Amino acid sequence: MRIDVLTIFPDYLAPLDLSLVGKARRSGLLDLAVHDLRDWTADRHRTVDDTPFGGGAGMVMRPDVWGEALDAVLADDDAGQPAVLLVPGPGGEVLTQRTAEELAGARRLVIACGRYEGIDARVAEHYATRPGVEVREISIGDYVLNGGEVAALVVIEAVARLLPGVVGNPESLVEESHGAAGLLEYPVYTKPPEWRGHAVPEVLTSGHHGKVARWRRDRALERTAARRPDLLARLAPDALDPADRRV
Ligand SMILES: COC(=O)COc1cccc(COC(=O)c2cn[nH]c2)c1
């Protein structure tokens, strides 16, 4: 997968050199480039914003600069791969694990990080008509950030870890929260068996794998019912077996 990020704060994306995503880049599993939007300005001050039509506080990011940048990045392509143009913003579809799975199937992601009051609306409008480009505004939650960079980091991590070979043991992608089971994760424990008077649940040291699996499923169901009943409601009817009804 290729990911291009466009931002006026490239350093904000430095964490993508670290850990699993950094490793995936170095091993060639993920081709990720961060671009400074100001490289496509034409004036001495490298201006990317201007005052909003209709008045109001703050500034809006100019369409002409974004157009030059996005044309250049989209054109830099080996075989005309279709691209998903992601615009992180509070008004977007909320990112879920399902969205991450969808995006992990794309050949290219181009992420346009907005700042100020946002990017001139004509940019998304224009690229939505571009053949081979799908525009998606993505929200990482119902709150407002100062720019799209943090949201870009979240999207990239959620997507990159689903790419084959990025996470050591793909098994771990199944059981975690919001994984294939669609439930929250069960509680986990490690040594020592007793810590500050807190013992590890006995079943986990019983060596009885069937009981351990049942206990974990019960805890995941309990947690999901208590903290995220909305997820339970969304589960496919056949996702719960008769033994689950006990919880
Ligand atoms: C068309 O979209 C845009 O212009 C986006 O522009 C902006 C402007 C300011 C801030 C942001 C950052 O996104 C969020 O605040 C956000 C994302 N998820 N939850 C909150 C983006």
Q: Going from the first residue of the chain to its last (247 residues), give the mean pLDDT of each consecutive group of 10, the final group possibly shorter.
A: 98 94 94 98 98 98 98 88 94 95 97 98 98 97 97 97 89 70 93 98 98 97 96 83 75
Q: Does ligand 1 have an atom closer than 6 angstroms to the CB of 90?
A: yes
Q: Does ligand 1 have an atom closer than 6 angstroms to the CB of 182?
A: no
Instruction: Express each pLDDT in 51-66 by its tens digit.
Output: 999 999 999 999 999 9
For ligand 1, atom 20, name the residue with the nearest CA: 90
Q: Does ligand 1 have an atom closer than 6 angstroms to the CB of 145?
A: yes
Q: Which of 149, 83, 152 is nearest to 116 (CA)?
A: 149
Task: Please state which CATH number belongs to domain 2-160.
Answer: 3.40.1280.10
What pLDDT does 178 receive?
A: 74
Residues 6+ apart with CB under 8 A from 83: 74, 77, 106, 107, 108, 109, 110, 132, 133, 134
Ligand 1 mean position, distance from CA 196 (Å)? 44
- pTM of the model as a whole: 0.93
What pLDDT does 155 receive?
A: 98
Q: What CATH superfamily classification does 180-239 receive?
A: tRNA(m1g37)methyltransferase, domain 2 (1.10.1270.20)
Q: Does ligand 1 have an atom closer than 6 angstroms to the CB of 63?
A: no
Cα-flanking dihedrals φ and ψ of residue 127, to 5°? -75, -20
Using the atom order of ligand 1, give the atom closest to the CA of residue 121. 1
What pLDDT does 244 receive?
A: 85
Q: Does ligand 1 have an atom closer than 6 angstroms to the CB of 154?
A: no
Ligand 1 mean position, distance from CA 164 (Å)? 29
What pLDDT does 173 receive?
A: 73
Cα-flanking dihedrals φ and ψ of residue 192, to 5°? -80, 160
φ/ψ bin of 121: left (φ > 0), alpha (ψ from -120 to 50), beta (otherwise): alpha
Q: Would the CATH topology of 2-160 be identical to that of 180-239?
A: no
Instruction: Express each pLDDT in 174-200 by its tens digit.
Output: 666 776 678 999 999 999 999 999 999
Ligand 1 mean position, distance from CA 116 (Å)? 9
Ligand 1 mean position, distance from CA 203 (Å)? 46
For ligand 1, atom 4, name the residue with the nearest CA: 118
Ligand 1 mean position, distance from CA 211 (Å)? 46
Predicted complex ipTM:
0.96
What pLDDT does 175 receive?
A: 61
What are the sequence ranges of the domains in the chain?
Answer: 2-160, 180-239
What pLDDT does 180 receive?
A: 64
Dihedral sign, Cα of residue 223, residue 226, residue 228, residue 231? positive
